[in-house]
Structure 1
Amino acid sequence: MSMMDKVENVKEQYRDGNNLAKRTNLHVKHSTNKQGFVPWLFEKYEFSKGDRILEIGCGNGTQWENRIHLLPEDCTLVLSDFSEGMVKVVWEKYSGQKNMLAQKLDIQNIPFPDNCFDVIVANHMLYHVPDLPKALSEVKRVLKNGGKFYAATNGNGGMRTYLRDAFKEVNPDLKSFTKDISFTLQNGQSLLIEYFDDVQRYDYEDSLSITETQDLIDWLKSTVTIATYADSDLNGFYEYFEAIRQKEGAINIPKEAGLFVSTKV
């Protein structure tokens, strides 16, 4: 088990919306693909009249801002998260929506009957799950025949490779970003095909061009609870990245992100 899927670490990381907001801020401000990852996701999602939709690991529910009311007629959206703090955030944000429910749940033990949902979404969260086979089995169980499971994730290259090399330069004693995450663009299809009849992968082309060094430092600090480093280990990183920014005009970092669309037949 890595730092990213230890229950106590994940609980602390997502105790409230602050860490997630800092990480989101980096991508919103400095991504080179101006379409944005969330608008791209909504081009891939397929919703129909009367669908029951479950999002697992909804975080602060940002992807639904200005979009819940656009769902087809008679849809029901259940926003769920392992963190009580996140469930509170989305309830306060969307409680005025008649078609929205908020619930705390664990993907490894989904408290709904078999064949209950038409669509399930679990974005950038499967690599936090201690027992991934159990989680995917539960998703399949509560998904209706013909239903779709959307799971966005990152690759083991891109930003992880860039930061791993940076850590080697600044603090070689740290082994950060060297361990592969458990659910990636590289292995996701082989993991999902064990549970679903059809699995399609879609890549989102993007990179970071960071013009404010502190935003990157804030991103790093926001991951401390699920990382192999502490705040004190980041001494010298601002100077390292700022030197790159001054020399090149920006800190240019590749990204690997995408979406798996799985169908239960």
Structure 2
Amino acid sequence: MKKEGYYSSGQFAKMAEVSVRTIRYYDKQNILKPSYVNENGTRFYSDRDLARLQQILLLKFLGFSLDDIREITVDTADYHMMKNSLEQQHKLIQDRIEQMQLVETAIRDTADAITKDHEPDWSQMLRLIHLTGMETSLKRQYQDSTNITARINLHQKYSVNKQGWFPWIYQQAEIRSDMHILELGCGNGALWTENLDKLPEQISILLSDTSEGMLRDVRRTIGAGDIRFSYRTIDCADIPCEDHSFDLVFANHVLFYCDDIDQVCREIRRVLKKDGLFICSTYGSLHMKEISQLVQDFDPHIQLAADNLYERFGLDNGAGLLHRHFTQVDLSRYEDSIYLKEPEPLIDYILSCHGNQNQYLLNRYKDFRNFVQKETQKGFTITKDAGIFLCRV
């Protein structure tokens, strides 16, 4: 018996303009399960399933494998998740267009070289191989960029301190004309996009990150025409810049991710001018503690982070680590908290974390959303315990 509001496999396939065989294959691959199976084993699909199928088909068109699609598709049972998913897919399309433009240029250059010299330019051929193999890295870059944006959005929109984290850091830096500035781990570039109107016209800023995807997002946001900015993938432990070349170096929530913090500090000190300033941020043990407690109350198996990063480099032990390399180290705390009454931004933040939460939450999204909505409807306060170290040689 058919259930109202549901479509048979044949109807569903016709609506999506795919074959029934494709629908069955996605079912077997655990990528798209039917919303309802009747007592005879007949499968039925809903409008929500159609939205998910469209997402799957788009990702497949973009060149992602079924294993990739299984990992990066999300439950579209909520309009907010759907909107986020579409925005993420738009970024993927932009990345893929840029990639294919590079491939097109490389193919043309390689063909021209063969026509001219009657033999291939092997360095150009290697570049072509690299470009056509970029698909495997797109997923990771896209996820990183999306995740960091979700975390920043929670702070930007719901923080009690109306000055904002990035304007506050900018104020501490006392940026002047003609400075040469390096940011290590620039993420989505929020330090600069939120302060563009304050930046002097005569200034040089090198934005770096290990993720090419993040750098592409920042370049799009700032605009390629802003000649004050340049972009480069950089490993913090091996900065490819000359000695004493920067007046100011930023590392915003970066050092606790580094394998060798001492080596990173040595490199930063090397590229800093003798009267330069190094600003690095981190947090303490109380930071966002209510969020960890919230997910634990829902499911005690959930861990939002494999490690407590503040134990590696935090507000309590950071000064001691920095004093090994800098003669003056001053701590400035940022007084703030988060207050909100709606579940979606908090859920986005939780799903963006580096822990095991997606393993337990994505298949129970509706239950989790109801749980968070109940916890936030009367107001939910989140502690912030963050600050910056200002370091001089």
CA positional deviation for 1:65? 2.0
What residue is the counterpart of 2:36 in the other structure?
none
> What is the Cα deviation at residue 176 of structure 1?
4.1
Q: CA offsets, 1:172-199, max 9 Å, x none? A: 2344458421221122111111111101
Specify the alignment match of 2:193 in structure 1. Answer: 65
Which residue of the other structure, out of 355, 372, 377, is the alignment partner of 1:241?
Answer: 372
Give the Cα–Cα distance (whole angstroms) in 2 for the partners of residues 97 and 60 of structure 1: 16
Classify 1:91/1:167 alpha carbon distance in 2 versus 1 (closer, same or farther; 3 Å).
Answer: closer
- Is residue 166–residue 194 contact of structure 2 (8 Å, CA) maintained in 1? no
The structural deviation recorded for 1:28 is: 1.7
Higher share in strand: 1
Residue identity opposite 2:226 in structure 1? Q
The change in CA–CA distance for 1:108 and 1:71 in structure 2 (over 3 A counts) is same
- AA in 2 matched with 1:153: T
- Letter of the structure 2 residue corresponding to residue 123 of structure 1: N
Distance 2:200 2:273 in 1: 18
Aligned 1:80-159 pairs, distance under 5 A = 80-92=208-220, 93-159=222-288
The answer to whether residue 173 in structure 2 is matched with residue 45 in structure 1 is yes
* 1:14 and 1:83 in contact (8 A); partners too: no
Size of the aligned set, in residue pairs, is 249
The answer to whether the 8 A contact 1:15-1:86 is kept is: no
Normalised TM-score (structure 2): 0.59
Q: Which consecutive unaligned segments of at least 5 residues does structure 2 have?
A: 1-138
How far is 1:14 from its partner? 6.5
| Among 320, 336, 339, the residue aligned to 1:206 | 336
Tell me the residue number matched to 1:188.
Answer: 318
User: What's the CA shift string for 1:12-60, capped at 9, x where partnerless?
Assistant: 3775532122112211221111111111112101223321100111112
C-alpha distance in 2 between matches for 1:173 and 1:65: 37
Larger radius of gyration: 2
**Match of residue 153 from structure 2:** 25
Query: What is the match of residue 171 of structure 1?
Result: 299
Alpha-carbon distance between aligned partners in 1 of 2:299 and 2:205, rounded to the nearest angstrom: 45
SS in 1 for 2:285: coil
Does the aligned pair in 2 maintain the 1:163–1:177 contact within 8 Å?
no
Listed one character per residue, the Cα deviations across residues 218-251 of structure 1 (whole Å, up to 9, x for unaligned) are 111112xx224334346454333322223xx111
> Do 2:350 and 2:357's aligned partners in 1 also have CA atoms closer than 8 Å?
no
How large is the Cα RMSD of the aligned pairs? 2.2
C-alpha separation in 1, matches of 2:155 and 2:264: 28
CA offset digits 1:64-121 (Å, max 9, x no partner): 1263464346321111111011122222333211221111111011001211111001
* Residues 107 and 135, structure 1, Cα contact 8 Å, conserved in 2: yes
Name the SS for the 2:273 alignment partner.
Answer: strand
3-state DSSP of counterpart to 1:217: helix
Contact 1:13–1:19 (CA under 8 A) maintained in structure 2: no
TM-score by length of 1: 0.85
Q: What is the CA–CA distance in structure 2 between the aligned matches of 1:193 and 1:218, rounded to whole Å?
A: 37
- Mark the CA change 1:212 to 1:133 in structure 2 (over 3 Å): closer, same or farther: same
Structure 1 residues 171 and 67: alpha-carbon distance in aligned structure 2, compared to 1, 3 A threshold: closer
Q: Is the 8 A contact 2:303 2:355 kept in 1?
A: no
Name the residue aligned to 2:63. none
CA separation in 2, counterparts of 1:147 and 1:85?
Answer: 30
